Chain A
């Protein structure tokens, strides 16, 4: 475990806690895409199938449980919590994410480390994570303004993936035969998706104006 990966996991955890805090404190989920949260819950459920079969470390196991539990908690809140669900922008969150799920699954069947259930679902979760933010970015574009907590949420999420890429570069140079092509390429695509958001976030921070995404 190197510092980049640990920092990546921490920023990932922070992004989820920011979201939980925002929903719990304001009892509102305005501006949050339920579809993105459902995709993330699916990412964790399909990636951590080995939760009970392969023990890597206590840290890994605890973090996997935290990620699964928190993502399901967010989805449950947005769907079931009487107060929160009222503030969900159903007619703005219209990204047809089922096609994305299907495309990722087909890709995972074709491109995987080994053609086993666990590896196919692992590759599926890697591809899905790369595009899971799309409904959220579309929702931000639609709603025009980005309230600061949602903006920070996306910022930490992008930082997590960016740190993971540095972690893979570090491991590539320090460990022999370390290759994670599937995760690396997919992680690069994912970070690229955030790049435009980062650009507008930086502009709004620099010009000290409210973050506006071009419609």
Chain B
């Protein structure tokens, strides 16, 4: 599965 786009910033 594609890596679910994570918001890695605040």
Give Cα A176–Cα B6 distance, bound, in whole angstroms. Answer: 16
Q: CA separation between A67 and B4, bound complex, in Å? A: 24
Mark each residue of chain B from 1 to 10: 1 if its CB lies under 8 Å from any CB of chain A, else 0.
0001111111
CB neighbours (8 Å) of A54 from chain B are 4, 6-7
CB neighbours (8 Å) of B7 from chain A are 47, 50, 54, 56, 122
Residues of B within 8 A of A5 (CB): 9
Task: List the count of A-B residue pairs having beta carbons below 8 Å apart.
Answer: 24
A9 sits at the interface (CB 8 A): yes
* Cβ-defined contact, B10 with A12, below 8 A: yes
How many chain A residues touch B (Cβ–Cβ < 8 Å)? 18
Chain B positions within 8 Å of A47 at CB level: 7
Q: Are B8 and A60 interface neighbours, CB within 8 A? A: yes
A2 to chain B, nearest CB (A): 11
Residue of A nearest to B8 (CB): A56
CB atoms of A56 and B6 under 8 A apart: yes
Residues A9 and B5 in contact, CB atoms below 8 Å apart: no
Distance of A30 Cα from B5 Cα, bound (Å): 42
Contact of A64 among B4, B5, B6, B10 (CB under 8 A): B10
Q: Give every chain B residue within 8 A of A196 (Cβ-Cβ).
A: none
From A44, which residue of chain B is reached at the shortest CB distance? B10
Distance in angstroms between the alpha carbons of A164 and B7 in the assembled complex: 14
Tell me if A147 counts as interface (CB < 8 A to partner B).
no
For residue B5, give the distance in angstroms from its CB to the closest CB of chain A.
7
Q: Shortest Cβ distance from A66 into chain B, in angstroms?
A: 10
- Bound state CA distance, A202 and B10, in angstroms? 28
Query: Which of A60, A64, A113 is the most central at the interface, judged by chain B CB atoms within 10 Å of its CB?
Result: A60
Q: List 21 A-B contacts (CB under 8 A).
A: A5-B9, A9-B10, A50-B6, A50-B7, A54-B4, A54-B6, A54-B7, A56-B6, A56-B7, A57-B8, A60-B8, A60-B10, A63-B10, A64-B10, A67-B10, A113-B5, A114-B5, A122-B7, A164-B9, A167-B9, A183-B9
Beyond A56-B7, A183-B9, 7 additional pairs, beta carbon < 8 A? A54-B4, A54-B6, A56-B6, A56-B8, A57-B8, A60-B10, A67-B10
